[in-house]
């Protein structure tokens, strides 16, 4: 089969001919129908921090159709069914796995970064991390469930979003998904701050009430308070660079919450007393769990989510590498998908 393989940072991904996967016990093989390119993919191919293993087929936002079923799978896993899932290969037996949180399994590997992913014609998946989709859900919708789940999980991690003023720092795909779910879950007012103007325009499409260029709290807060009426009770940090948590603590209302969703891999600093004097709650949010996927699939099946604006480009293998590289520069895309 054809597949997109990572070899080393700074080198474009290459489309190669590799061996077809075969399902192990408890696994299925899908024919991938769509697989989205994620910001994590771009970062992982830039700075080599060991998250992405050389020689790996990338892609973790997939949807596809079952073409082979391994031994020991329950009867509902049969050829022709639509599937997406949490992109993990995990033990299936530890406590996190049993409660539907394979991201916390200590023996897990991430598909598309450490195990074979979805930028390929075929892909092997654990059934315990996969989700059967109803036929009414399209391939693009199916492949959007993973990036949507990141935002949903973050919003569910807030104690209660209903009726609240919200500030989302960063309008990358994660910040946009957070904005989408804040509106869905009943936030009162959503402000997004973002340096790039076309991303600010995108935030408006993702339900933001007000969008401002990112800046120092002293400059941005008067704008937010004028629009929203007061400081935000909930702040989502969706940037992932040093200094953002401190800014969130400075901008959030007394008694509020700061949710850290951006993945910052460098040392960061904040003054604990600044958070203490406001009696804040801070939470760190990791990815998603099975329940997030189930909820989104259910809502899509009921036509409760309009995601038609989210996939902004589709490419085949021939154009894939070029499309992937083009996303490294500022761009107006929300999500580009491979159609193998």
Which positions touch Zn ion (CB under 5 A)? 38, 40, 90-91, 94, 97, 105
Smallest distance from Zn ion to CB 186, Å: 26
User: For Zn ion, which is the closer residue by CB, 129 or 193?
Assistant: 129
Q: How far apart are CA 35 and CA 7, in angstroms?
A: 19
CB of 147 to Zn ion, least distance (A): 6
Strand 257-260: give its sheet, edge to edge: 210-212, 189-193, 165-169, 234-237, 257-260, 281-284
CA 276, distance to chain mean position in Å, is 31
φ/ψ of residue 300, rounded to 5:
-65, -40
| Closest approach of Zn ion to the CB of residue 100, in Å | 11
Q: Give the residue with the Cβ less far from Zn ion, 94 or 221.
A: 94
Min dist CB 165 to Zn ion, Å, is 28
* Tokens linked to 196: 């790039």
Which residues, in sequence order, are bridge partners of residue 16?
3
Give the span between the Cα atoms of 153 and 159, in whole angstroms: 12
Q: Please say which residue, 155 or 228, places its beta carbon nearer to Zn ion.
A: 155
Tell me whether residue 68 or residue 94 sits nearer to Zn ion (CB atom).
94
DSSP conformation letters of 234-301: EEEE-S-STTHHHHHHHHSPTT-EEEE-S---S-----HHHHHTTT-EEEE--S--HHHHHHHHHHHH
Smallest gap from residue 274 Cβ to Zn ion (A): 32
- From first CA to last CA, the distance across the chain in angstroms is 10
Least distance CB 109 / Zn ion (angstroms): 11
Helix (H, G, I), strand (E, B) or coil at 93: coil
CA distance 37 to 255: 37
Angle, CA of 330, 152 and 237, to the nearest 5°:
50
Q: Cα separation of 166 and 153, whole Å?
A: 16
Q: Rank residues 21 and 117 by Cβ distance to Zn ion and give the closer one.
A: 117
Which one, 70 or 117, has the nearer CB to Zn ion?
Answer: 117
Task: Report the nearest approach of Zn ion to the CB of residue 63 (Å).
Answer: 14
């Amino acid at each position: 089969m054809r597949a997109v393989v990572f070899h080393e940072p700074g080198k474009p991904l290459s489309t190669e001919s590799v061996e077809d996967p075969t399902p192990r016990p408890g696994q299925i093989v899908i024919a991938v129908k769509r697989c989205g390119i994620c910001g994590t993919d771009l970062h992982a191919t830039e700075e080599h921090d060991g998250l992405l293993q050389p020689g790996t087929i990338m892609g973790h936002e997939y949807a596809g159709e079952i073409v082979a079923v391994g031994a020991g799978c329950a009867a509902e896993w049969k050829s022709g069914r639509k599937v997406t899932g949490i992109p993990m290969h995990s033990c299936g037996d530890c406590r996190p796995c049993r409660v539907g949180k394979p991201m916390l399994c200590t023996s897990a590997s991430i598909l598309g970064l450490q195990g074979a992913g979805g930028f390929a014609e075929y892909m092997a998946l654990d059934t315990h991390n996969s989700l059967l989709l109803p036929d009414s859900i399209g391939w693009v919708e199916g492949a959007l469930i993973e990036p949507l789940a990141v935002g949903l999980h973050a919003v569910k991690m807030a104690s209660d979003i209903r009726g609240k003023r919200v500030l989302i720092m960063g309008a990358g795909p994660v910040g946009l998904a957070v904005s989408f779910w804040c509106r869905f879950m009943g936030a009162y007012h959503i402000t997004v701050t973002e340096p790039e103007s076309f991303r600010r325009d995108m935030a408006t499409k993702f339900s933001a009430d007000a969008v401002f260029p990112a800046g120092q709290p002293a400059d941005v807060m008067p704008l937010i308070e004028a629009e929203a009426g007061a400081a935000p009770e909930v702040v989502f940090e969706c940037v992932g660079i040093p200094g953002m948590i401190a800014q969130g603590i400075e901008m959030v209302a007394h008694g509020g919450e700061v949710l850290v969703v951006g993945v910052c891999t460098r040392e960061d600093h904040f003054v604990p007393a600044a958070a203490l004097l406001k009696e804040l709650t801070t939470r760190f949010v990791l990815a998603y769990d099975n329940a997030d996927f189930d909820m989104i699939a259910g809502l899509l099946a009921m036509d409760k989510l309009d995601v038609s604006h989210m996939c902004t480009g589709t490419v085949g293998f021939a154009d894939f590498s070029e499309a992937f590289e083009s996303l490294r520069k500022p761009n107006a895309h929300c999500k580009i998908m491979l159609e193998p």
